[in-house]
C-alpha cells in the first residue's frame, strides 16, 4: 500500500489486491492509527475501489505527527463475515497535533486546488430520498453512480455536464431494498466514494 501526501494536506491511499486476499470481496476496510492513539476502524470503500483520499486531518500546530494506515478485504458471506489479513501499514508524517474532523463548515467555494470534492449525503440513513452534494472547480462531465455492498452497479444517478461550483442531486431510493450502498463520483481525473444507508 502507498501513501501520497498532497500540498493541500490530503493523504491518498493506493492499495493493490493480490491473489492472497479473500475471493469475492464485498468491500475493503480502512484502519487508521494517529500518533500514539490505538488502531481504529476509519472507513471502507467498495470492492472495485483501490484508492481513498483522507482529508479529515487537522493541520493545527507545528509538531509533526505520524499517521499509519492498513487495509483488509471483507466478504459478507453467511454465516459470518470473512476477512483477509491486513496490508502492510505505511506511515506518513503530517503537521498537526490532533486528528480533527472533516471540515464540513468551510467555504465550499474554496476547493484548495482539488479538481472536485464529494460530500456526505444528507440525510443519512435516508428513506426514501436523500441529497448528494459535490463541488467541481471547472466545467466537467460528472458521473455519479450507485453500487451495492458487493460492488455491483445499481443505478446511474447522473452522467452529464456540470458547471464549476457546488451542486446538489436528489436521489430517490423508492424502488430499492433497505441496505448499505455506495455512491461514486467521477469528474475528470477525480474519483471518490461515500457510503449511504437506505432504511425502509
Q: Are residues 72 and 144 in the same domain?
A: no
Residue 37 C-alpha cell reads as 492513539
- Would 100 be classed as within a structural domain? no
Of 72, 66, 65, 58, the residue nearest 30 (C-alpha):
72
Q: Distance between alpha carbon 114 and the CA centroid of its chain, in Å?
A: 15
Looking at residue 174, its pLDDT comes to 94
CA-nearest of 196, 195, 166 to 52 is 195
Is residue 106 included in any domain, yes or no? no
> Are 91 and 124 within one domain?
no
Residue 59 placed within a domain:
yes
The answer for residues whose C-beta is within 8 angstroms of residue 73's C-beta and 6 or more apart is: 17, 21, 22, 25, 27, 28, 29, 47, 83, 84
Going from the C-alpha of 111 to that of each of 39, 41, 150, 165, the distances in angstroms are 30, 27, 32, 9
Same domain for 7 and 83, yes or no, is yes
At 176, which CATH number?
2.60.40.1930
Chosen domain end from 95, 128, 153 = 95
Residue-by-residue pLDDT tens, the chain, 200 positions: 555 544 445 677 777 666 555 557 788 888 888 777 888 888 888 877 777 877 776 544 435 677 888 888 888 765 567 788 887 766 666 554 433 333 323 333 333 444 788 888 888 889 999 999 998 888 889 999 998 877 788 999 999 999 988 899 999 999 999 988 989 898 887 888 888 989 98
Note whether 12 and 75 are same-domain residues.
Answer: yes
Tally of structural domains, the chain = 2
61: domain CATH number? 2.60.40.10
Q: Would you say the C-alpha torsion 18, 20, 25, 28 has a positive or negative sign?
A: negative
Task: For the full predicted model, state whether its pTM sits above 0.85.
Answer: no
**Structural domain boundaries, residue 26:** 2-95
Amino acid at each position: 500500500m502507498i501513501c501520497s501526501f498532497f500540498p493541500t494536506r490530503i493523504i491518498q491511499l493506493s492499495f493493490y489486491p493480490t491473489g492472497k486476499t479473500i475471493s469475492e470481496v464485498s468491500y475493503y476496510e480502512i484502519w487508521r492509527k494517529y500518533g500514539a492513539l490505538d488502531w481504529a476502524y476509519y472507513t471502507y470503500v467498495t470492492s472495485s475501489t483501490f484508492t481513498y483520499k483522507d482529508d479529515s486531518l487537522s493541520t493545527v500546530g507545528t509538531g509533526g505527527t505520524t499517521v499509519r494506515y492498513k487495509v483488509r478485504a471483507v466478504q459478507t458471506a453467511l454465516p459470518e463475515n470473512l476477512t483477509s489479513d491486513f496490508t502492510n501499514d505505511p506511515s506518513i508524517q503530517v503537521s498537526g497535533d490532533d486528528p480533527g474532523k472533516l471540515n464540513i463548515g468551510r467555504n465550499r467555494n474554496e476547493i484548495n486546488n482539488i479538481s472536485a470534492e464529494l460530500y456526505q449525503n444528507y440525510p443519512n440513513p435516508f428513506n426514501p430520498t436523500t441529497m448528494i452534494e459535490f463541488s467541481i472547480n471547472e466545467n466537467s462531465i460528472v458521473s455519479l453512480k450507485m453500487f451495492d455492498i458487493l460492488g455491483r452497479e445499481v443505478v446511474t444517478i447522473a452522467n452529464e455536464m456540470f458547471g464549476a461550483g457546488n451542486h446538489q442531486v436528489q436521489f430517490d431510493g423508492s424502488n430499492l431494498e433497505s441496505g448499505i450502498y455506495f455512491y461514486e463520483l467521477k469528474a475528470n481525473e477525480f474519483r471518490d466514494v461515500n457510503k449511504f444507508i437506505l432504511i425502509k
